[in-house]
Amino acid sequence: MSIPQQPGPTPVTSPGGSRPASGPRDVLGAAAQPPGLGAFDEHHPPSAELVADCVHCGFCLPTCPTYVLWGEEMDSPRGRIYLMKQGLEGEPLTDSMVTHYDRCLGCMSCVTACPSGVQYDRLIEATRQQVERRHRRSPRERALRAAIFALFPYRRRLRLLRGPLRAYQATGLPRLVRRSGLLRRLAPTLATVESLAPRLGRAARPPQRVAAVGTRRAVVGMLTGCVQDAFFPEVNAATARVLAAEGCEVVILPDRQGCCGALSVHNGREEEARRFARRMVDTFAAAGIDYFVVNAAGCGSTLKEYGDLLRDDPRYAALAADFAGRVRDLSEVLVELGPVATRHPLPVTVAYHDACHLAHAQGVRAQPRRLLRDIPGLVLREIADPEICCGSAGIWNLLHPGPAAELGDRKARTVLATGAGLLVTANPGCLMQVAASVTRAGGDIALAHTAQVLDASIRGRGAEELLHHRTPS
C-alpha cells in the first residue's frame, strides 16, 4: 500500500537513499470521524486531531527502527498514521493494517525527532487498544501472547523460574545450545528467551522499608517490578542503598506490589493494565510518599501516565493523577534532591545506552549522564545512533525474534565500537537484549544499571565489582 502523492513539504531522504511517498495533509476534524464505523469503535479511537498534526515531512524515518530495517513506508510512523486516518474514514481493520501496527516497537524515537510535535505515542497506544478489542488473531499468535501475559506481569511466577534456570545455567548447556543454532532454527521465540536470560545468583528478599542515612530528606516509594525483581534483584538492592545514602526513607512493600501494567499498556490490553494500575495506586495510597521512584524505563513511562489510563474511572481518576505526579526515574529524583553522599573514584570507561522509554517517552537524558560524570575517575563515551532501539521493546523481541536480533546486532556493533569496558543503561530489557547481542557478535563487555554504578562509587567498592558482570560466553 502506498500513500498518494500530494503537494506539501519536501520529505527527507530515507536511509536507503530513496525518496518516500508523501501523504495527504488535509486537516481531519473530529466531526469527520464516523462513530462506530471502519477500523475503530467509539471507545477512545486514535484522535483525528492528532492524526492531522502529521504533515508527512519524513523527519521520523531515519529514527524509526522498522523503517531502517525494511524501508517500507507503512512500517514508518507517518505510514502508520496514514493507516489510522484510513481507519477513521471508514476503512476496515485488515490483517495487513494490523501487521504494520504490530511491527511498531513503540520506542517513541519518532516523537523526539518530529518537528511538528506529533503525539505518535498516544496514537499508537489508542490504536493498539482497538486492535486487541476488534481484531481476531491467528491461533498461534493468541497462544503466544496468552503465554507471555500469563507469565511476565507476575513476579511470583517469574521467581519460580529462577531455580530451574539456575540449574540449567550450571550445567554448561547454554553455551552448547547457542553454538549449535538448532533451537533458533526450530523455535526462534524459545531461543530468544533462552539467549536473553541473565546469569542468576542468589536473590535476597527485599525489605519492607529502608531507613535514610543521616538526615531524612524525603520519603520515597520504590517499584520492585516484575522482570527486575525476578532476574535483576541486585539492581533493586542497589537502588534502595543509593536512595538511602542520599537521605531518602525507602518504602518498598514487596509483598503488596504487583505489575505496574506497562507490558499490558504497550500491547493494547487496556482493562488488564487498568487492573494493575488500581492495585499499584492502592498499595501506596497511605504510604505518605513524596516520590515514587522507578528504575525500569518502560515501567516509569507507564506509571507517569496513570492519570490518562484511569481517566474514565470516577473512583481512581484523581488518585491516579496524583500518584502519576509523584513518579520519578531514579536519576530524576537524585538530581532533583542533589547529592549528599560522597562519591569515591571509579576508574572505568563507560558507554551509556539510552533506554527508549527513558530518553524518548520520558525525555530523561541529561540526568543519568550528569550522575555518571560526577563520579571521579569515570570516563563517559557516547554510542553512535543512540536513537535506534536495541530491539528489546518490552516483549517485541519475543514476538519478532528475527528483526529484534538484527536491531540488537546493530546496537552491539555500536556499543563495542566505543571501546568501553562497561555498558550502563536503565532498563532490564535493554540489559538482556544488548548482552545477548554482544555475545552473538563475539564481543566482551561488562553490563550494569545506573544504580549499580552509583552504588559502587558511594560504597567505595571499586570498578572490579562492576566489571565482574560480563556478557555470557
Beta-strand ranges (E) seen in 44-96 are: none
- Provide the edge-to-edge strand list for the sheet that holds 218-222: 209-210, 248-251, 218-222, 291-294, 327-329
pLDDT of residue 470: 57
Q: Are residues 328 and 220 in the same domain?
A: yes
pLDDT of residue 162: 85
Q: Are residues 299 and 247 in the same domain?
A: yes
pLDDT of residue 168: 77
Q: Is residue 404 in a domain?
A: yes
pLDDT of residue 334: 98
Q: Are residues 261 and 377 in the same domain?
A: no
Q: Is residue 17 in a domain?
A: no
**CATH number of the domain residue 327 falls in:** 3.40.50
Give the rounded distance of the alpha carbon of 183 from its chain centre. 26
Rounded distance between C-alpha atoms, residue 439 and residue 441, angstroms: 5
pLDDT of residue 263: 96
pTM: 0.87
pLDDT of residue 261: 97
> At 114, phi and psi to the nearest 5?
-70, 120
User: Of the residues 110, 134, 158, which one is the last residue of a structural domain?
Assistant: 134
Q: Is residue 7 in a domain?
A: no
Q: Is residue 24 in a domain?
A: no
Which domain range does residue 157 map to? 139-196
Question: What burial letters (b/e) apply to 345-359, b meaning 16+ CB within 10 Å?
Answer: ebebebbbbbbbbbb
**CA geometry: angle 24, 28, 30, nearest 5 deg:** 160
Contact between 8 and 25 (Cβ < 8 Å):
yes
Contact between 242 and 458 (Cβ < 8 Å):
yes
Instruction: List per-residue pLDDT tens for the chain, 473 residues long.
Output: 333 333 333 333 333 333 333 333 333 333 333 444 589 999 999 999 999 999 999 999 999 999 999 999 999 999 999 999 999 999 999 999 999 999 999 999 999 999 999 999 999 999 999 999 999 999 999 999 999 999 999 988 988 888 887 787 778 777 777 777 766 776 777 777 777 777 777 777 889 999 999 999 999 999 999 999 999 999 999 999 999 999 999 999 999 999 999 999 999 999 999 999 999 999 999 999 999 999 999 999 999 999 999 999 999 999 999 999 999 999 999 999 999 999 999 999 999 999 999 999 999 999 999 999 999 999 999 999 999 999 999 999 999 999 999 999 999 999 999 999 999 999 999 999 999 999 889 999 999 999 999 999 999 988 888 887 655 55
| Nearest-10 Cα torsion for 167, 172, 177, 178 | 110
- Provide the edge-to-edge strand list for the sheet that holds 349-352: 379-382, 349-352, 422-425, 446-449
Cβ atoms within 10 Å of 1's Cβ, excluding its own: 13
pLDDT of residue 4: 36
Q: Are residues 233 and 249 in the same domain?
A: yes
Helix (H) or strand (E) holding 349: strand 349-352
Q: Are residues 162 and 239 in the same domain?
A: no
Q: Is residue 49 in a domain?
A: yes
User: Of the residues 290, 317, 335, which one is the last residue of a structural domain?
Assistant: 335
Residues 6+ positions from 136 with CB-CB distance below 8 Å: none
Q: Are residues 149 and 166 in the same domain?
A: yes
Q: Is residue 2 in a domain?
A: no
Q: Is residue 473 in a domain?
A: no
Q: Are residues 216 and 318 in the same domain?
A: yes
Q: Are residues 151 and 123 in the same domain?
A: no
Rounded distance between C-alpha atoms, residue 343 and residue 438, angstroms: 30
Count of domains observed in the chain: 4
